[in-house]
Amino acid sequence: QVQLVESGGGFMQAGGSLRLSCAASGIISFINNMGWYRQAPGKQRELVAVITNGGSTNYADSVKGRFTISRDNAKNTVYLQMNSLKHEDTAIYYCNADLRTLGGRWNDYWGQGTQVTVSS
């Protein structure tokens, strides 16, 4: 059984910063990619940032220069540092992990989401 739990969301004024965390637990043998997605009201879920096991990163154009994704492999945790927040960043943020269980089964796993609300 694998579980991803996000934390760090909340309310923030435009221009402020928040740091999201996502910890994976369970019978995990290897985590390849980890990423963050977000879904705003009335919109489709979109990729925000992804980081490989080796540390390579990719970002959505809308967050480049403002957000930074990182990971701590020893803790099976991925982070998203969000700076210079804008109202348009308001969404539920979901953690995603591409991983193998101890038994060799591969799958994508999702967290339950954490709300980020940025006031104008």
**Using one digit for the tens of pLDDT, what is the confidence trace for 63-106?**
999 999 999 999 999 999 999 999 999 999 999 999 998 888 89
| Of 51, 35, 52, nearest in space to 93 by CA | 35
Query: How far is residue 42's CA from residue 7's CA, in Å, rounded to a whole number?
Result: 23
Of the pLDDT bands very low, low, confident and very high (cuts 50, 70, 90), residue 37 is very high
Q: What is the DSSP letter of 25?
A: E
Q: Give dist(CA 40, CA 74) in Å, integer.
A: 32
Rounded CA gap, 62 and 59, in Å?
8
